[in-house]
Structures are given as C-alpha cells and as structure tokens.
Structure 1
Amino acid sequence: MAAPDTELKVDTGLVKALGLFSATTLVMGSMIGSGIFIVSADIARQVNSPGLMILTWVITAVLTLIAALSYGELAAAMPHAGGQYVYLREAFGPLSGFLFGWTMFLVI
C-alpha cells in the first residue's frame, strides 16, 4: 500500500536559532580576529611596562563588556532578524541602516 499523501509546510522566513555556543564563538571571532597578536606588540612598545599593558587590556575588556551588554539589551528590546541594521533603522531611519549595511559590505 502507498503511504497517504502528506503536505509538507515549507517555512521560507528567517529562522532565529542561535544557541549559546554559536553566539559566543561568533562574537569571539568578530571581536578578536588575528589583530590581537599584532596589537599586543604595539601596546607593549607604547607603554613600556608589563603592568600598564595588562591594565590597558583590562580597561579595554571592561569597555568591550559594556558594548556587548548594550547589544544584548538592544537584541532583547528588538528581537528581529537583521542585527545592527534594525537598531540603526529604528533609531535614525531606513537610510542610516541601508548605508551601514552597504558600508560594512564594502569595507569587510
């Protein structure tokens, strides 16, 4: 006997499925990159002190944490696919989101 006909529903929208591990590695990859190995040497040459170098990294880590928490608040307030485009569009209008998207595309 043949199986009864079943209709499959195909969802064509964007799926909001990003787990903790995926989100963490995505942020680490975009924030750290390979520049961390180059910047460390530049900072060491500028400050001439291991203590000041570590202090510089701690201050930078705190500022980065503040930025990450701000993005977390924005994501919780506007749970839509699109990331920074959505935030800029809502704050400054569609032109700023459009320009940001194309600037990121051309620069990166």
Structure 2
Amino acid sequence: MHSPTAARREPVPTVSQEGEFHRELGLIDATAIVAGSMIGSGIFIVSADVARTVGSPGWLLRVWVLSGVLTV
C-alpha cells in the first residue's frame, strides 16, 4: 500500500562545485521564459492580421522588412 512518507520526494541537492549545473529557477528566469513565449506567439498572431489586411504575400514581406528596419 501507499504510505504518506513513500509519496514524498527528496529535494534534489544543488552542487556548488565550479562547472556543475544547478537545478534552480528564479523569479527573473521564470519571467524571461513567460515573456519570451508571449512575444514568440505574438509574432504569429500579428502577422496573420497584417496578412489579412495587406492581401498579398509580397506586401506582407515588405511590411516585415520595413518593421525590422524600423526596429533596429
């Protein structure tokens, strides 16, 4: 049968030696992951709206290039 202590997992220890990886995720790391996923998905949503508005692939590419130049 299952006992309450059997279901518990021991925490994974972090190694403090140089050159070793640590299994930890801080607030800044988590925020960067969420922001990156929102920006990444937003590119596809916005380009679909622009494609519907301009009506042709050529104009869509021109708008993308112009937006890229203005961004830099």
**Alignment TM-score, normalising by the size of structure 2:** 0.45
**Alignment TM-score, normalising by the size of structure 1:** 0.31
Higher relative contact order (CA closer than 8 Å, sequence separation 6+):
1
More helix, by proportion:
1
